[in-house]
Structure 1
Amino acid sequence: MKDYFTPGRLVSSTAGRDYGKFYLILDRVNETRVRVVNGADRKVSGPKLKNIKHLKVYPLVAGDIAHKVSTGQRVTDLDVRRALKELLETYGQAATAQGKPSDGKLELKLNGSGKEVG
């Protein structure tokens, strides 16, 4: 099974008070929960715990964040904000290049267990 919920992955919330907000995954807590940050209202010092069922997963990963987490280096809120801004700009350009509105057409289709579907 390919794990899409890896550190640095771009996600957005599909449920809760934070509906529609974009985050980066900081780490995976267990099979159903991850910690997400955006560097502004959800800082690295206080990440939000989210159920993976309530996240829309995008095929973009912040490589520098993933590298820092995997090597045990300190990730700062500034790192997260910069990476999130770059990914959102990339996502917007990719969506418009395909002639599609940037409303989530690039997300990965996952079933409840985290496996990719058609």
Structure 2
Amino acid sequence: MDESSSIPRLGQIAKVIRGRDNGKYTVVIHVVDERYVLIADGDKRKFDNPKKKNILHLELQDEISAEVVNSLNETGRVTNGKLRFSISRHIENIQTDEHLKGE
């Protein structure tokens, strides 16, 4: 992982690699500082009750959800539906990529 990809960005999809939610995908909804972010998935972890997470416990994905970023910039919040949609679309993209590589 290069240095630029270890800096979390608003709307970035992340995979939890440590803790109770290990293996789950989530979205960065706020960057607290260089070590911590607030994450939510719109399902178990709603926007109004985000989890503060050390970025060392996350595997940041290349994908950044434009819908989430736009919504946060315009209104300061994002719907849980948009979070769920962004995550499900990311998972579909991963499965499609894996399927194409497998052929």
Smaller-chain TM-score range?
0.7 to 0.9
The number of residue pairs the alignment matches comes to 100
Mapped contact 1:24–1:38 kept (Cα < 8 A): yes
1:81 is matched with 84
Match of 1:40 among 35, 40, 43: 43
Structure 2: state its 5+ residue gaps: none
**1:16-35 superposed matches below 5 A:** 16-35=19-38
**Paired AA for residue 22 in structure 2:** Y
Give the CA deviation at 1:66: 1.4
In 2, the alpha carbon distance for the partners of 1:27 and 1:73 equals: 10
In 1, the alpha carbon distance for the partners of 2:33 and 2:76 equals: 21
- 1:57 aligned onto 2:60: yes
2:72 is matched with 69
Q: Under a length normalisation based on structure 2, what TM-score does the superposition of the two structures give?
A: 0.86
Mapped contact 1:62–1:87 kept (Cα < 8 A): no
Structure 1: state its 5+ residue gaps: 101-118
RMSD between superposed Cα atoms in Å: 1.8
Identity percentage of aligned residues? 25
